[in-house]
Chain A
């Protein structure tokens, strides 16, 4: 196990009567890539600003390499912040941009030169040192921005939605490059984003936040497969998870899950056996991801699981089918499948949930039970 690089102990930030960050307790390890993910107003940027020293915590501690740094000014922290727009000089060449902060500090010329060349090599910009920053492509700009921050030698990098203003294709390429660069540099990176796909693709671990509270911190695949609550389950993954309110009923010794008007029904005796009986309530929310619903487009064999096709979205390698349970038009379910035969709007099909992939969610506390 890697050593703890950055430790948050009951970190809290209050603005007036708003608790922006609420009792955050987290360990971030050396060389780890952590994404802080959440919708706007969840507290992710406030958390980042406290790491950087731009905000003072109301209570709790930020501990970097075993030292409390709450009161240290930004420039004395071993932390480098990379802004959304990078804030580099368009008219200077790459070399001058990298050298800028050391020149301001009046470091000897030879020291500046050797440091710039060392960093340029690490971020793979040695071949473009003489190019003007403004003439670079987005991938090169990203590497220069990281290089500029590396010059001052921080051991932790903070990035605030740096890919936000790029177009979709460039984002996919840039995030792959950034992830690989982080692995090569072996530096701790903390990356703030509201984009779940970006967080999934980049992070070793994701910190999901909402209303100032840490909801879950785990690897992307773990969060995807085992979300702890309804918020995380609904926020991670696209198309989003389906939620259907059902009743749990005992019929002939079997435990059946029935949608409220009975259009959908499944035997969950096996699934529920894993659960502590005391946790079960009459009403329960079923969560199932679109790729775990299969369809029989020739219609329903049984009485249950009949659904009407509302809309079909052929997305190339995938097909999204939106259906409503028969007689329950407010129970809309998205299905993600392969593009084979495409059912027409209004067609009657059968939907089947993969038993081993369903989640059961307590409707009161919104905790995922399974």
Chain B
């Protein structure tokens, strides 16, 4: 049981820099929460986890666990378990000894070690691996043994740094299910760093998006997806990626338009009123591939003409790429529609699903 709080945490690496700097990180992680930290590589995820674990010294800010300031506490005294992407199991020790190793270091009595290891092995279905060496384990089994080794320590918090990164797609899918169920059963706080938006969306009770060492947004998965606070968040969450177009907000007579060389969209009746919220009225329009309608004819002035570039079937849906001028527009549609290459179609960006970002700052203007 544990809450975590990072209060204005800054870490600048000097000289040889292995990790990304972080600046003014404020984070409150609730008790029993599955918290996902997502960002591209070198965005500060690992540094943040290490700041919680106490593996890096901070330049500024404090770290609290259960309300107690642990900033100056040695990592071993924080009662956290950290799991890295590279699952360093001891190759010459059996599954049992690998799981038992943190307890042996702590000089736990042998009977207790045995009881704990067997209990955790049963929980994770690892009994058959206890007498075998890691070289005989599959990817998923290695993963589970590494998790078991973290579990026996009975930590207050689990910190996981891309723990599913090395697994193939199918295994990743099933392991993430197991991980979430395990976390729920244990009821313990987990902080999970990943660059994979699908993993973050699937696992997180809440997601923290981090970029360039700064927290960009913290929210529940569906809220982040529907209301990204800036273009960085909009781009990293959702697959295929959101489409972006540079536009000007222009008033003509009593009409308010979004204008781009390829289209003019009437936003007169759009709420809220966003005029004057972007510098020079220069914005970036964002629209997700799933929020675009396709038609054979121009159904209103807002519809955008575009040529079919390529279609990619994916079974239960298809990705359909269109060209308009030199821009590509990616859409996701039903699997059973089929068009000729280079055929002209009309596209409609659903207005209630539009995003507008200030072109200079990238910040959402409504």
- Chain A residues at the B interface, C-beta cutoff of 8 Å: 167-169, 172, 175-176, 179-180, 183, 194-195, 197, 200-202, 220-221, 224, 236-240, 289, 291, 310-311, 313-317, 320, 322, 336, 339, 342, 345
Contact = CB atoms under 8 A, between A and B. Distances in A.
A315 B240 contact: no
Contacts of B1: none
Contacts of B198: 315
Contact of A201 (B170, B195, B201, B312): B312
Contacts of A317: 238, 288, 290, 332
B173 A311 contact: no
A203 B358 CA distance: 40
A336 B202 contact: no
B315 A200 contact: yes
Given A314-B201, A322-B177, A176 B319 contact: yes
B202 A183 contact: no
B292 to A, nearest CB: 12
A345 B316 CA distance: 26
B314 A316 contact: no
Contacts of B170: 240
A336 B310 contact: no
Contacts of A316: 201, 221-222, 225, 237-239, 288, 290
Contacts of A172: 239-241, 319, 330
A183 B310 contact: yes
Contacts of A339: 222
A167 to B, nearest CB: 8
Given A224-B335, A289-B315, A316-B225, 20 more contacts: A169-B240, A169-B241, A172-B239, A172-B319, A176-B319, A179-B310, A180-B310, A183-B341, A237-B315, A238-B169, A239-B173, A240-B173, A291-B316, A311-B180, A314-B222, A315-B198, A315-B201, A316-B201, A322-B177, A345-B184
Contacts of B168: 194
Please tell me the size bucket of the interface on B: 35 or more
Contacts of A336: 316
Contacts of B195: 167
Contact of B310 (A176, A236, A237, A291): A176
Contact of A200 (B237, B239, B290, B312): B312
A289 B316 contact: yes
Contacts of B315: 200, 220-221, 224, 236-238, 289
B163 to A, nearest CB: 17
A238 B196 CA distance: 16
Chain A contact surface mostly: mixed
Interface in B173-197: 173, 177, 180-181, 184, 195-196
Contacts of A202: 312
A174 to B, nearest CB: 12
Interface string B292-336: 000000000000000001101111100101000000001010010
A176 B312 contact: yes
B169 A195 contact: yes
A221 B335 contact: yes
**Interchain residue pairs A-B with the least CB separation, the first 9:** A201-B312, A313-B202, A224-B315, A317-B290, A316-B225, A180-B310, A291-B316, A314-B222, A220-B313
A3 B222 CA distance: 50
Contacts of A220: 313, 315
B273 to A, nearest CB: 28
A310 to B, nearest CB: 7
B239 A176 contact: no
Of residues A195, A238, A240, A320, which shows the largest number of chain B Cβ atoms within 10 Å of its Cβ? A238
A115 B202 CA distance: 51
Nearest to A239: B173
Contacts of A289: 315-316
Interface in B273-296: 288, 290
A168 B200 CA distance: 14
Contacts of B225: 314, 316
Of residues B177, B309, B330, which shows the largest number of chain A Cβ atoms within 10 Å of its Cβ? B177
Interface string B139-176: 00000000000000000000000000000111001000
A200 B221 contact: no
B202 A238 contact: no
Nearest to A183: B341
B181 A311 contact: yes
Contacts of A169: 239-241
Contacts of B332: 317
